[in-house]
Amino acid sequence: MRLETTLVDVIQRALKFNVDFFQCFLTLKTAGRVVPLNSSDIKEFIELRRQYFKEIYLHVSYWVNPSTIEYNPHRLLKRELLLARKLEFTHVIFHPGSAKGAHNVQEGIDALAAMLNKLIKKEPSFIFVLENVAQKYPSIGGDINHFSLLLEKLENADRVRFCIDTAHAFSFGYNIVDDDKQDAFIDLLDKKIGIDKICLIHLNDNEEDLGSHVDRHQVIGEGKIGLEPLKRFVMHPKLKHIPILSEPPIMSEEDLEAEFKKIVGWHK
């Protein structure tokens, strides 16, 4: 959910769907600034959050670029994290961003590691979560090997986890449609970052082709990945214990509810 209503509306919607956790943005999509909140909004949100949710996820704005090697004070990120502390978010999800100004992948990974090492020391209340992306270099995090290289540079890797987005993986070029290639991708995740380091799966279908490097979410089962491969992925013995979060395109409340029930039904 992107925060385009009120903060309390977001948490009430999560309660309606009877979920254990939720994810939202705290920035206005077009303006690139943190949403304004009053003390009443914050108080009500925290009361509901403490009563019903053990974990909640902040998705950092796409305006934030953690992998740039050019000077960037990350003012927007600082404002987001300040608000996230007030609201008692537990996890902070990043797209690793683009290695702007770098000469090679390693320089971008080093910049990302340096930023994370600072955040880990400064923000002890959060688990930082890196999400794989659809784009190729200079973007960091499409190639799963980037995360393996990153882990080697972290001073406290226990504070970092990963989110695997199925649409991003497919669009980057990982074939998760064919059973054997899907198994190979899961084995790669286990070898390079460790299944125990994956705390969330973004379960999304994609309108675009395998290897297109275009991230355009589609209703589950109506995209180029398809229903059965996505179901097989999240129900794989290595992954079925990992929480699932869907980021569907804009749809009616009725269709969204049907989508949710479909996914929940797999586990039942």
Q: Where residue 35 falls among pLDDT bands split at 50, 70, 90?
A: confident
Say what percent of the chain tops pLDDT 90. 78
Per-residue model confidence (pLDDT) at position 30: 64
Please tell me the CATH superfamily of domain 7-267, with its number: Divalent-metal-dependent TIM barrel enzymes (3.20.20.150)
Residue among 44, 172, 147 at smallest CA distance from 94: 147
237 vs 256, which has greater pLDDT?
A: 237
Q: Work out the average pLDDT over 216-227.
A: 95
Q: Residues, the chain, total?
A: 268
Residues 6+ apart with CB under 8 A from 96: 66, 67, 112, 130, 131, 133, 139, 140, 141, 146
Say yes or no to pLDDT of 251 above 90.
no
The answer to whether the CB of 215 falls within 8 A of the CB of 171 is yes
Residue-wise pLDDT for 60-80, tens only, equals 999 899 999 988 888 999 999
Longest dimension (CA), the chain: 53
Say yes or no to pLDDT of 160 above 50.
yes
Per-residue model confidence (pLDDT) at position 4: 47
Domain positions in the chain are 7-267
The answer to whether the CB of 60 falls within 8 A of the CB of 32 is no
Q: Mean pLDDT in the chain?
A: 93
Say yes or no to pLDDT of 21 above 60.
yes
